[in-house]
Chains A and B, each alone.
Chain A
Amino acid sequence: EAQVTQNPRYLITVTGKKLTVTCSQNMNHEYMSWYRQDPGLGLRQIYYSMNVEVTDKGDVPEGYKVSRKEKRNFPLILESPSPNQTSLYFCASSSGTSGTETQYFGPGTRLLVL
Protein backbone atom coordinates (compact mmCIF):
# COMPACT_ATOMS: atom_id res chain seq x y z
CA GLU A 1 0.00 0.00 0.00
CA ALA A 2 1.34 3.42 -1.00
CA GLN A 3 1.77 5.51 2.09
CA VAL A 4 3.67 8.10 4.04
CA THR A 5 4.40 7.13 7.63
CA GLN A 6 5.37 9.36 10.51
CA ASN A 7 6.60 8.49 13.95
CA PRO A 8 5.79 9.19 16.64
CA ARG A 9 2.14 10.13 16.17
CA TYR A 10 1.98 11.90 19.52
CA LEU A 11 4.83 13.35 21.54
CA ILE A 12 5.01 15.34 24.74
CA THR A 13 8.44 16.72 25.56
CA VAL A 14 10.12 19.47 27.54
CA THR A 15 11.84 22.62 26.38
CA GLY A 16 15.35 22.04 25.09
CA LYS A 17 15.25 18.26 24.74
CA LYS A 18 16.26 17.35 21.21
CA LEU A 19 13.79 15.28 19.26
CA THR A 20 13.39 13.76 15.82
CA VAL A 21 10.18 13.02 13.97
CA THR A 22 10.70 10.43 11.29
CA CYS A 23 9.00 10.39 7.90
CA SER A 24 9.17 7.61 5.37
CA GLN A 25 7.46 7.04 2.02
CA ASN A 26 7.31 3.87 -0.05
CA MET A 27 6.38 5.43 -3.39
CA ASN A 28 9.89 6.32 -4.61
CA HIS A 29 8.90 9.98 -4.58
CA GLU A 30 11.54 12.61 -5.19
CA TYR A 31 9.82 15.51 -3.47
CA MET A 32 9.22 15.53 0.28
CA SER A 33 8.27 18.30 2.65
CA TRP A 34 7.31 19.13 6.21
CA TYR A 35 4.43 21.34 7.31
CA ARG A 36 3.12 22.54 10.59
CA GLN A 37 -0.54 23.24 11.17
CA ASP A 38 -1.71 25.80 13.70
CA PRO A 39 -5.26 27.05 14.35
CA GLY A 40 -6.17 29.97 12.14
CA LEU A 41 -2.93 29.71 10.16
CA GLY A 42 -3.54 26.66 8.02
CA LEU A 43 -0.51 24.63 6.99
CA ARG A 44 2.85 26.30 6.63
CA GLN A 45 5.83 24.72 4.97
CA ILE A 46 8.89 24.22 7.15
CA TYR A 47 11.39 22.56 4.80
CA TYR A 48 11.27 20.66 1.57
CA SER A 49 13.54 18.41 -0.42
CA MET A 50 13.61 17.99 -4.18
CA ASN A 51 15.83 14.90 -4.01
CA VAL A 52 18.50 13.14 -1.99
CA GLU A 53 20.92 15.60 -0.39
CA VAL A 54 18.86 18.55 -1.70
CA THR A 55 16.90 20.47 0.93
CA ASP A 56 15.61 24.01 1.14
CA LYS A 57 13.79 26.26 3.56
CA GLY A 58 10.07 26.78 3.43
CA ASP A 59 8.15 29.59 5.08
CA VAL A 60 8.89 28.80 8.73
CA PRO A 61 12.25 27.00 9.00
CA GLU A 62 13.53 28.61 12.22
CA GLY A 63 14.18 26.08 14.96
CA TYR A 64 14.08 23.06 12.63
CA LYS A 65 16.55 20.95 10.73
CA VAL A 66 16.06 18.26 8.13
CA SER A 67 18.18 15.77 6.25
CA ARG A 68 17.66 13.68 3.14
CA LYS A 69 20.28 10.98 3.04
CA GLU A 70 17.97 8.45 1.45
CA LYS A 71 15.15 8.96 -0.99
CA ARG A 72 12.50 7.39 1.22
CA ASN A 73 13.31 9.16 4.51
CA PHE A 74 13.04 12.80 5.50
CA PRO A 75 13.37 13.28 9.27
CA LEU A 76 12.50 16.53 11.00
CA ILE A 77 14.84 17.50 13.83
CA LEU A 78 14.14 19.94 16.62
CA GLU A 79 17.51 20.57 18.26
CA SER A 80 16.12 22.61 21.15
CA PRO A 81 12.33 22.56 21.12
CA SER A 82 10.42 25.49 22.53
CA PRO A 83 6.74 25.81 23.49
CA ASN A 84 5.99 27.79 20.31
CA GLN A 85 6.80 24.66 18.36
CA THR A 86 3.79 22.93 19.85
CA SER A 87 1.83 22.06 16.75
CA LEU A 88 0.51 19.38 14.42
CA TYR A 89 3.19 18.33 11.94
CA PHE A 90 2.67 16.73 8.55
CA CYS A 91 5.15 15.11 6.25
CA ALA A 92 4.23 14.90 2.57
CA SER A 93 5.69 13.50 -0.63
CA SER A 94 5.02 13.74 -4.35
CA SER A 95 6.44 12.11 -7.42
CA GLY A 96 7.99 14.90 -9.42
CA THR A 97 8.30 18.48 -10.44
CA SER A 98 5.81 18.98 -13.23
CA GLY A 99 3.57 20.85 -10.86
CA THR A 100 0.62 18.56 -11.34
CA GLU A 101 1.30 15.81 -8.89
CA THR A 102 -0.66 15.69 -5.72
CA GLN A 103 1.12 15.49 -2.45
CA TYR A 104 0.53 12.46 -0.25
CA PHE A 105 0.36 13.32 3.41
CA GLY A 106 1.37 11.32 6.43
CA PRO A 107 -1.06 10.90 9.32
CA GLY A 108 0.38 13.78 11.31
CA THR A 109 2.40 14.09 14.53
CA ARG A 110 0.96 16.04 17.44
CA LEU A 111 3.77 17.65 19.40
CA LEU A 112 3.42 19.34 22.78
CA VAL A 113 6.45 21.15 24.16
CA LEU A 114 6.17 22.00 27.83
Chain B
Amino acid sequence: AQKITQTQPGMFVQEKEAVTLDCTYDTSDQSYGLFWYKQPSSGEMIFLIYQGSYDEQNATEGRYSLNFQKARKSANLVISASQLGDSAMYFCAMREGPDSWGNEKLTFGTGTRLTIIP
Protein backbone atom coordinates (compact mmCIF):
# COMPACT_ATOMS: atom_id res chain seq x y z
CA ALA B 1 0.00 0.00 0.00
CA GLN B 2 1.15 3.53 -0.74
CA LYS B 3 2.26 5.40 2.33
CA ILE B 4 1.66 8.79 0.74
CA THR B 5 -0.96 9.28 -1.93
CA GLN B 6 -1.33 12.37 -4.07
CA THR B 7 -4.25 11.77 -6.37
CA GLN B 8 -3.88 14.87 -8.54
CA PRO B 9 -1.08 14.44 -11.11
CA GLY B 10 -1.75 17.94 -12.44
CA MET B 11 -3.84 21.03 -11.69
CA PHE B 12 -4.53 24.25 -13.51
CA VAL B 13 -5.66 27.18 -11.39
CA GLN B 14 -6.47 30.78 -12.22
CA GLU B 15 -4.12 33.35 -10.74
CA LYS B 16 -5.29 34.83 -7.41
CA GLU B 17 -7.53 31.85 -6.72
CA ALA B 18 -6.94 29.58 -3.74
CA VAL B 19 -5.82 26.04 -4.47
CA THR B 20 -5.90 22.83 -2.44
CA LEU B 21 -3.46 20.03 -3.14
CA ASP B 22 -4.56 16.69 -1.75
CA CYS B 23 -2.43 14.32 0.29
CA THR B 24 -3.46 11.24 2.23
CA TYR B 25 -1.11 9.09 4.25
CA ASP B 26 -0.96 5.70 5.86
CA THR B 27 0.96 4.91 9.03
CA SER B 28 0.53 2.95 12.24
CA ASP B 29 2.95 5.21 14.11
CA GLN B 30 1.53 7.55 16.72
CA SER B 31 4.30 10.07 16.24
CA TYR B 32 4.95 11.24 12.72
CA GLY B 33 5.46 14.41 10.73
CA LEU B 34 4.03 15.66 7.48
CA PHE B 35 5.81 17.96 5.07
CA TRP B 36 5.14 19.76 1.85
CA TYR B 37 7.90 20.63 -0.59
CA LYS B 38 7.86 22.70 -3.77
CA GLN B 39 10.02 21.82 -6.74
CA PRO B 40 10.16 24.53 -9.42
CA SER B 41 11.34 23.80 -12.93
CA SER B 42 14.91 24.53 -11.84
CA GLY B 43 14.80 21.28 -9.85
CA GLU B 44 15.64 22.21 -6.28
CA MET B 45 13.42 21.06 -3.42
CA ILE B 46 12.05 23.87 -1.27
CA PHE B 47 10.55 23.19 2.14
CA LEU B 48 7.14 24.84 2.55
CA ILE B 49 5.41 23.68 5.70
CA TYR B 50 5.47 21.06 8.46
CA GLN B 51 2.76 19.48 10.62
CA GLY B 52 3.47 17.21 13.58
CA SER B 53 1.03 14.44 14.40
CA TYR B 54 0.49 15.83 17.88
CA ASP B 55 0.04 19.43 16.77
CA GLU B 56 -3.52 20.46 17.47
CA GLN B 57 -3.46 23.56 15.32
CA ASN B 58 -3.11 23.45 11.57
CA ALA B 59 0.28 24.72 10.45
CA THR B 60 0.47 28.00 8.53
CA GLU B 61 3.38 29.70 6.77
CA GLY B 62 2.43 32.87 4.97
CA ARG B 63 0.14 31.93 2.06
CA TYR B 64 0.56 28.22 2.82
CA SER B 65 -1.56 26.33 5.28
CA LEU B 66 -1.87 22.64 5.97
CA ASN B 67 -5.37 21.26 6.45
CA PHE B 68 -4.60 18.40 8.83
CA GLN B 69 -7.42 15.91 9.40
CA LYS B 70 -5.90 13.19 11.54
CA ALA B 71 -8.88 10.85 11.63
CA ARG B 72 -9.09 10.91 7.84
CA LYS B 73 -5.30 10.73 7.52
CA SER B 74 -5.19 13.67 5.20
CA ALA B 75 -2.79 16.61 5.07
CA ASN B 76 -3.87 18.86 2.24
CA LEU B 77 -1.86 21.93 1.29
CA VAL B 78 -3.81 25.12 0.77
CA ILE B 79 -2.25 28.00 -1.13
CA SER B 80 -4.19 31.22 -0.82
CA ALA B 81 -4.18 33.89 -3.52
CA SER B 82 -2.10 31.89 -5.97
CA GLN B 83 0.64 33.59 -7.97
CA LEU B 84 2.34 32.74 -11.25
CA GLY B 85 5.47 31.84 -9.29
CA ASP B 86 3.55 29.08 -7.55
CA SER B 87 3.67 27.01 -10.75
CA ALA B 88 5.77 24.01 -9.77
CA MET B 89 5.69 20.39 -8.70
CA TYR B 90 4.50 19.88 -5.12
CA PHE B 91 5.39 16.88 -3.00
CA CYS B 92 3.78 15.68 0.20
CA ALA B 93 6.05 13.67 2.51
CA MET B 94 5.75 11.82 5.80
CA ARG B 95 8.40 11.19 8.42
CA GLU B 96 7.93 8.11 10.58
CA GLY B 97 10.02 7.28 13.62
CA PRO B 98 12.47 7.31 15.13
CA ASP B 99 11.98 3.70 16.12
CA SER B 100 13.70 2.01 19.05
CA TRP B 101 16.83 1.77 16.93
CA GLY B 102 16.77 5.47 16.26
CA ASN B 103 15.84 4.97 12.61
CA GLU B 104 13.46 7.33 10.91
CA LYS B 105 12.11 7.33 7.41
CA LEU B 106 10.86 10.01 5.04
CA THR B 107 8.47 8.85 2.33
CA PHE B 108 7.34 11.04 -0.56
CA GLY B 109 4.23 11.05 -2.69
CA THR B 110 4.40 11.10 -6.47
CA GLY B 111 3.71 14.82 -6.64
CA THR B 112 1.18 17.22 -8.15
CA ARG B 113 2.17 19.57 -10.96
CA LEU B 114 0.46 22.88 -10.36
CA THR B 115 0.15 25.40 -13.17
CA ILE B 116 -1.13 28.90 -12.44
CA ILE B 117 -2.91 30.53 -15.36
CA PRO B 118 -2.72 34.31 -15.75
Contacts and interface: CB of A to CB of B under 8 A. Distances in A.
Classify the interface of chain B: helix, strand, loop or mixed: strand
A59 B93 CA distance: 14
A24 to B, nearest CB: 16
Contacts of B103: 50, 56
Interface in B16-70: 31-33, 35, 37, 43-47, 50, 52
A34 B4 CA distance: 19
A74 interface: no
Interface in A95-114: 97, 99-100, 102-105, 107-108, 110
Given A100-B52, A108-B43, A41 B110 contact: yes
Q: How many of chain B's residues touch chain A, expressed as a range?
A: 20 to 34
A11 interface: no
Q: How many of chain A's residues touch chain B, expressed as a range?
A: 20 to 34
A31 B104 contact: yes
A100 B33 contact: yes
B44 A102 contact: no
Nearest to B50: A102
Interface string A59-92: 1000000000000000000000000000010101
B111 A42 contact: yes
A45 interface: yes
Contact of A99 (B37, B52, B91, B110): B52
A108 B93 CA distance: 18
Interface string B81-118: 00000000001010111100011111111110000000
Interface of A: 31, 33, 35, 40-45, 48, 50, 56, 58-59, 88, 90, 92, 97, 99-100, 102-105, 107-108, 110
